[in-house]
Amino acid sequence: MEYKEFCLQLIELVGGKENIQSVTNCMTRLRFKLNDRSIAKTDEIKELADVIDVVSNDVAYQVIIGTQVQDIRPEMNKILGLSGESKQTDSGEKEKFITMALRILSEAMGPILIPIMAAGLLAGILSLVSLTGLVSAESSTYLILDSIRQAVFFFLPVLIAISFARRLEVNEYLTVTIALTLMSDAINGAKGLDFLGLKLPETTYSNSFFPIILSIIFMKYVGKALEKVMPKALQYFFNPVLILIITLPVTLILFGPLGTYIGDGLNFVFEFIGNTFGSWSVVMLYAALQPFLITIGAGNFIIPIFMNSYATLGYDPVFTAAWIISDIAVCGAVVGYFFRSKDQKQKQLFGTTAFSAFMGVTEPAVYGVFVKYRRPYIAVMIGGGLGGLFAGLMKVVGYAPVGLFGLASFIGKDNYSNFYMMLIAVIIGFVGAGIAAFILGIPNDEEVEAKQAAPVEMDAEAVTKLLIKAPVKGKNVALSNVNDKAFSSSALGKGLGIEPEEDTIHAPVDGEVVSLFPTNHAIGIKTDYGVEILIHIGINTVELDGKYFETFVKQGDKVSVGDAILKADMAGIRGEGYDPVVITVITNTADYLDVLPSHDTSLSSEEDCLTVVV
């Protein structure tokens, strides 16, 4: 009940229950798949007390909250009436296969990390306890507690079966039955097996990651096929057993070997990189660049890779060390800013985000500090890169996917050198990033704005900003001063208003007319780069029912910048008692880094009024 009001507000701001296709969560964020993202009020969501930021990309509409998301998600499910992982509806939009696969993989992997991280942290605690001599590694107490860690990694296919079954809407109990069958003594690692005379390859399913995923995907399609051919009266009795006896042999014959090849292929790739360039290069690059991946919501892509390493190799040679070093480098960068800043409000921001990063949750620092000031990205590239380089050269490996507080797990089986090298790498990352951030300094607000709006080179390969011309000549009006809450709150997107000094409205960009209100008082234009621009003439002028408005284009027309698209009798509108302010907003603001309005007091249709930072 503690988060009920927050959940109700959030559901309303993303467009209501009917706009939500699915909702899942990872460690720090709610991931929505929305039918129509354009109606989500991103700026208002960002203002909610528990929200750190919002990231909208091809994978999901992500509301970043923090670790309390684990408590918020059940309340969200209850309000939405969800019993499983998602609520699916037909949005009429076909999702790209790669996007769908990444989204499902990311959403299904999130819940599995909870027991894995718990097992990793437990391994670190046991290593410390054993190191101090309080409990012998040969004692029953140690063995009982260590059995938790062993069980999590041995029965990983079962955890995967549960999570993917919920995400793909397959019967959980049938998927777990398949997973347990694969891990039974009769099949797991058994030699000399055959099925109907067909020889089966020897496969250790407890140490494989992909066979069970492929098996669950296949099971979903088998279930759908049986529902079409089996009479409804018989489905309850026969479908489960048919699903099992069809899925198991196909898994043993096809998915077991295929999944093993995929896992071995990933290991080969990293072994090849290590032998060719040195594995240190991957550790260094990921430790340096992880904040960028978090910023764009792509941090989860490594999950199947490092989980495959743990399942097949028993350790992770790359990513566990890299992400811990990167996390502590983020902490170091914000600490550097804390000591550099003289402003108490800034110090409070830097102090709280540094503590959060130290605890392993870096999103508050990345979205609250890095995105605004930019220079901390460079600090982490320096500190995290140096720490990652050292860890890579020293061939540090992770024995459990843990954070900073599970550092003792790097001892593994009495591998103290591995632990000491990791400790040094962490110190290098923290100190290096802290010193770099302190030296780079904190840009003031004017410098931040100037940096965002600075002119840049543009070509067909890389577009970093898009310029929007003023649609009409007139006086610049800040959007917050427009007398319409829907616009002034930026709920419809960032932009500005213009007090018009002429009647003709010009196309501010090259693009296509995607919407034209019947009353001709508002028009929507979309550019080839996907920027969606709404030009709205006047406040409440829809009540004029088209009086004083004339259009020169129709929906679907292509327009070029400067073309006359509408005409409005501004004097007549004023005479009727309406404010004729011409409002221009970017309705898909959330898809871009920022939208910056011009600060010129007056504008002409030949001047830029908005800069969309890509």
450 falls within a domain: no
pLDDT digits (tens, 9 = 90+) for 148-172: 888 887 888 898 899 888 888 889 9
153 falls within a domain: yes
272 falls within a domain: no
Do residues 388 and 398 touch, judged by C-beta distance below 8 A? no
Q: Give the closest residue to 495 by CA, choosing from 613, 371, 609.
A: 609
Mean pLDDT over residues 236-245, rounded?
91
As a whole number of angstroms, the distance between CA 430 and CA 330 comes to 8
- Output the domain CATH number for residue 43: 3.30.1360.60
Mean pLDDT over residues 469-476, rounded?
93
Is 436 in the same domain as 377?
Answer: yes
Count of beta carbons in the 10 Å neighbourhood of residue 609: 23
491 falls within a domain: yes
Is 326 in the same domain as 243?
Answer: no
Burial bucket for residue 343 (CB in 10 Å: 0-12, 13-18, 19+) = exposed
448 falls within a domain: no
Q: How many domains does the chain have?
A: 4
Within 169-278, where are the H helices? Answer: 172-182, 210-229, 232-250, 256-276
pLDDT above 60 for 91: no
Is 121 in the same domain as 77?
Answer: no
**Token pair belonging to 550:** 């004339």
Is 324 in the same domain as 422?
Answer: yes
Q: Which of 221, 245, 267 is the last residue of a domain?
A: 267
Q: What is the pLDDT, as a whole number, of residue 457?
A: 40
Q: What is the CA radius of gyration of the chain?
A: 28
Is 82 in the same domain as 112?
Answer: no
- Angle between the N-to-C axes of helices 319-340 and 279-295, in degrees from 0 to 180, rounded to the nearest 10: 60
Mean pLDDT of the chain: 82
In percent, the amount of the chain with pLDDT more than 90 equals 27
pTM of the model: 0.53
List active site positions. Answer: 26
The vertex-401 CA angle with 181 and 72, nearest 5°, equals 85
Is 20 in the same domain as 122?
Answer: no
107 band by pLDDT with thresholds 50, 70 and 90: low
Count of beta carbons in the 10 Å neighbourhood of residue 261: 12
SS3 346: helix
- Output the domain CATH number for residue 598: 2.70.70.10
As a whole number of angstroms, the distance between CA 400 and CA 406 comes to 8
Is 114 in the same domain as 65?
Answer: no
Instruction: Look up the domain containing 87 and give its range.
Output: 4-94
Q: Give the closest residue to 384 by CA, choosing from 424, 432, 419, 343.
A: 432
473 band by pLDDT with thresholds 50, 70 and 90: very high
Q: What is the pLDDT, as a whole number, of residue 449?
A: 47
pLDDT digits (tens, 9 = 90+) for 507-548: 999 999 988 888 889 999 999 878 999 999 998 888 888 899
pLDDT digits (tens, 9 = 90+) for 7-63: 889 999 999 888 888 787 765 678 888 888 889 998 888 888 778 778 776 556 888
Is 480 in the same domain as 432?
Answer: no
pLDDT digits (tens, 9 = 90+) for 545-598: 889 999 999 988 999 999 999 999 999 999 999 999 999 999 888 777 778 888
pLDDT digits (tens, 9 = 90+) for 349-404: 788 888 878 877 787 788 778 877 888 999 999 999 999 999 989 989 888 777 77
Q: Give the closest residue to 402 by CA, choosing from 162, 70, 115.
A: 115
Is 90 in the same domain as 126?
Answer: no
Going by C-beta distance under 8 Å and a sequence separation of 6 or more, which residues neighbour residue 320? 306, 397, 398, 400, 401, 402
Is 468 in the same domain as 549?
Answer: yes
Is 48 in the same domain as 171?
Answer: no
Sign of the torsion formed by the C-alpha atoms of 134, 136, 140 and 142: positive
Mean pLDDT over residues 475-500, rounded?
84
Is 139 in the same domain as 259?
Answer: yes
462 band by pLDDT with thresholds 50, 70 and 90: very low
As a whole number of angstroms, the distance between CA 319 and CA 305 comes to 9
Mean pLDDT over residues 256-275, rounded?
75
Q: Which of 267, 287, 303 is the last residue of a domain?
A: 267
